[in-house]
């Protein structure tokens, strides 16, 4: 749908100008018959509008149009003469008296854009009956045909609206185009110096520079100060043609051939050398014009190929103005060669505003895409920076924890060695002395203290996920004790799931719970068999059960052992249940799969 609308709109812009005509003044006297007097003073009756090529001679005598006007009487008010279009400067005479000279007419007239004229007829020169208006059209050394439109006479109020419309299209619009071209040229050069590696800016700056030179003189070139430079500015047309194709290639992200620049420079130098010794031959001028038209067509084909095959956004944007430039160039070449009787309005200059508009749109689109890419890059970099900062923070936290762990480990090792070599040795001496003196109470107390000390020492030497190691050490110390008492131990913890977060503190808490359960079985049983199992609970926790065949559990008031066991279980975020079974007591300890760090260890 978008392509269809763009094609239809482009075709409408290409065709409609030839179907529409600028409304001419109603109520004015139309003068469309004239006697044409050429450079050789040969008279011919013609119908206005009229176009003719100058004769190829050294003299540039003005041509003249003689128009007769019959007035029944001299009007009381002022009469104005309105010429909608003339592509040369003109001089006006009324009944032989000149009232407008070449120096006062057609200041902005150029070969490609005609100018409109509206002047007051001198009241004193008007007579009742036949009046003769002579329109002299300046001749030049340029091959563009001389063109004069029909002429109107009437009051100012009737002619002024049509004159203003013509001035807008013939003067104001082309002035705006020239200024826009100048601004875009400066912007393209600035962008090129900022981004010299971008081929679009390089070729666009060259194109804008050459077209600014050529179009300005073709639009304003019949002014006396510029008229003698017309041939010189024509020499830049081939270079502008190659630049036109180069910009099209740059738009579709293709590198223009290197010979474009060399050819543009060489052709320009050669034609400038020819002009420096005389006028360009007419075949050379036609060849230059053909080069321009061919370049428009080639550039349009390049953009169409990229737009339909590759779907390039910039190619799609620039295809309509390029097509219109090519279409109007071919159309104007036809008008130039055939001198149609209906008029000599050239449309190529009016395609330039569309080209400048779409070029600006392409540059803004690229700038917007660059800014979007920059924003996305900033967002990506910001996200990566945040991730790096988070990673660094995690590394810092890990290093700090590792340093703390190493400090704690060294302190635990030192404490372990001190307890083992110091206090443990003293307790062993007390046990030995008690055995010699046969003091059983002291011996048993010393043995309990030594067992408890070894429990603490073993817990200090544990690492993460080493709860089975702590339980194995506990079993190794428990077996001899139970064997001396004649108690059978049934031990199986192979089904215990892996528990992480094991620290000396929470490992010691688990071992003290087990130790208290064993002590209760020995003291309050008396038990003959103790069963210890490790497995997974139904809700996915680590479960340790201790069952004995002694006295069935009866809840009592005031016992500290069970209360301490529950307190330690809460610190471990576990669950503890004690219940009576058919043949004794069963204690169940449920632990999470990741043990918490105890408060005393967090602040250590």
Q: How confident is the model at residue 535 (pLDDT cuts 50, 70, 90)?
A: very high
pLDDT at residue 557, as a whole number: 62
Under DSSP, the state recorded for 60 is -
Q: How confident is the model at residue 427 (pLDDT cuts 50, 70, 90)?
A: low
Sign of the torsion formed by the C-alpha atoms of 599, 600, 601 and 604? positive
Q: How many other CB atoms are found less than 10 A from the CB of residue 15? A: 12
pLDDT at residue 603, as a whole number: 43
Mean pLDDT (the chain) is 82
Contacts of 102 (CB under 8 A, 6+ apart): 89, 90, 91, 136, 138
Fold observed for domain 2-346: Jelly Rolls (2.60.120)
Q: How confident is the model at residue 529 (pLDDT cuts 50, 70, 90)?
A: very high
Q: How confident is the model at residue 133 (pLDDT cuts 50, 70, 90)?
A: very high
Q: How confident is the model at residue 442 (pLDDT cuts 50, 70, 90)?
A: confident
Contacts of 221 (CB under 8 A, 6+ apart): 110, 111, 142, 227, 229, 230, 233
The pTM (predicted TM-score) of the whole model is 0.59
Instruction: Name the residue with higher pLDDT: 218 or 93.
Output: 93
For the chain, give every residue range classified as CATH 2.60.120.260.
2-346
Instruction: Name the residue with higher pLDDT: 52 or 122.
Output: 122
Burial of 537 (0-12, 13-18, 19+ CB in 10 A): middle
pLDDT at residue 105, as a whole number: 58
Res 602 pLDDT > 50? no
Burial of 565 (0-12, 13-18, 19+ CB in 10 A): buried
Res 60 pLDDT > 80? no
Query: Two tokens at 567?
Result: 């307190």
Sign of the torsion formed by the C-alpha atoms of 501, 506, 511 and 514? negative
CATH top-level class of 462-602: alpha beta
pLDDT at residue 409, as a whole number: 67
Distances (CA, A) of 468 to 436, 473, 510: 38, 9, 11
Residues 463-517: tens digit of each pLDDT: 667 888 888 888 988 888 888 888 999 999 989 999 998 888 888 889 889 988 8
Instruction: Name the residue with higher pLDDT: 296 or 598.
Output: 296
Query: Two tokens at 162?
Result: 């049509």
pLDDT at residue 347, as a whole number: 77
Q: How confident is the model at residue 588 (pLDDT cuts 50, 70, 90)?
A: very high
For the chain, give every residue range classified as CATH 3.30.565.10.
462-602
Which range (32-46, 276-290, 443-457) has the least confidence? 443-457
Residues 20-40: tens digit of each pLDDT: 666 678 888 999 899 999 888
């Amino acid at each position: 749908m978008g392509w269809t609308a763009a094609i239809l709109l482009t075709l409408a812009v290409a065709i409609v100008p030839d179907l529409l005509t600028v409304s001419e003044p109603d109520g004015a006297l139309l003068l469309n018959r004239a006697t044409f007097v050429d450079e050789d003073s040969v008279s011919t009756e013609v119908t206005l509008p009229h176009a003719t090529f100058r004769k190829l001679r050294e003299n540039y005598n003005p041509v003249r149009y003689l128009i007769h006007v019959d007035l029944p009487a001299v009007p009381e008010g002022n009469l104005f003469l309105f010429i909608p279009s003339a592509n040369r400067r003109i001089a006006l005479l009324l009944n032989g008296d000149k009232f407008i000279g070449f120096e006062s007419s057609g200041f902005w007239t150029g070969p490609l854009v005609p100018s409109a004229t509206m002047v007051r007829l001198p009241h004193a020169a008007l007579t009742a009956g036949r009046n003769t208006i002579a329109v002299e059209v300046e001749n030049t050394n340029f091959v563009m045909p001389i063109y004069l439109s029909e002429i109107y006479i009437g009051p100012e109020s009737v002619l002024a609206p049509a004159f203003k419309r013509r001035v807008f299209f013939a003067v104001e619009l082309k002035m705006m185009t020239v200024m826009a071209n100048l601004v875009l040229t400066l912007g393209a050069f600035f962008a090129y110096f900022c981004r010299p590696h971008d081929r679009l800016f390089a070729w666009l700056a060259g194109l804008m520079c050459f077209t600014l030179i050529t179009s300005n003189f073709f639009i304003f070139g019949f002014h006396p100060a510029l008229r003698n430079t017309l041939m010189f500015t024509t020499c830049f047309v081939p270079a502008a043609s190659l630049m036109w194709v180069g910009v099209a290639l740059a738009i579709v992200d293709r590198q223009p051939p290197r010979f474009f620049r060399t050819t543009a420079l060489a052709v320009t130098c050669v034609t400038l050398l020819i002009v420096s010794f005389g006028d360009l031959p007419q075949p050379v001028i036609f060849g230059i014009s053909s080069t321009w038209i061919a370049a428009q067509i080639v550039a349009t084909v390049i953009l169409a190929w990229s737009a339909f095959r590759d779907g390039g956004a910039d190619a799609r944007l620039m295809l309509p103005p390029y097509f219109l430039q090519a279409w109007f160039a071919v159309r104007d070449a036809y008008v130039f060669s055939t001198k149609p009787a209906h008029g000599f309005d050239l449309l190529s200059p009016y395609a330039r505003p569309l080209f400048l508009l779409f070029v600006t749109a392409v540059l803004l689109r690229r700038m917007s895409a660059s800014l979007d890419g920059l924003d996305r890059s900033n967002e990506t970099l910001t996200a990566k920076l945040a991730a790096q900062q988070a990673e660094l923070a995690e590394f810092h936290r890990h290093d700090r924890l590792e340093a703390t762990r190493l400090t704690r480990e060294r302190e635990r090792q030192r404490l372990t060695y001190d307890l083992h070599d110091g206090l443990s040795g003293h307790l062993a001496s007390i046990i030995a002395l008690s055995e010699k003196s046969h003091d059983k109470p002291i011996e048993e107390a010393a043995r309990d203290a030594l067992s408890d000390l070894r429990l603490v020492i073993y817990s200090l030497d544990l690492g993460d996920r080493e709860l089975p190691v702590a339980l194995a050490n506990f079993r190794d110390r428990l077996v001899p004790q139970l064997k001396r008492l004649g108690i059978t131990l049934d031990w199986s913890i192979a089904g215990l799931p892996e528990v992480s977060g094991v620290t000396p503190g929470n490992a010691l808490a688990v071992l003290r719970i087990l130790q208290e359960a064993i002590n209760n079985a020995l003291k309050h049983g008396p038990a003959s068999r103790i069963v210890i199992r490790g497995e997974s609970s139904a809700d996915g926790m680590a479960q340790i059960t201790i069952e004995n065949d002694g006295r069935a559990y009866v809840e009592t008031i005031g016992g500290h052992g069970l209360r301490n066991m529950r307190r330690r279980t809460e610190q471990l975020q576990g669950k503890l249940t004690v219940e009576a079974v058919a043949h004794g007591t069963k204690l169940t300890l449920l632990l999470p799969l990741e043990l918490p760090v105890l408060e005393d260890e967090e602040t250590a």
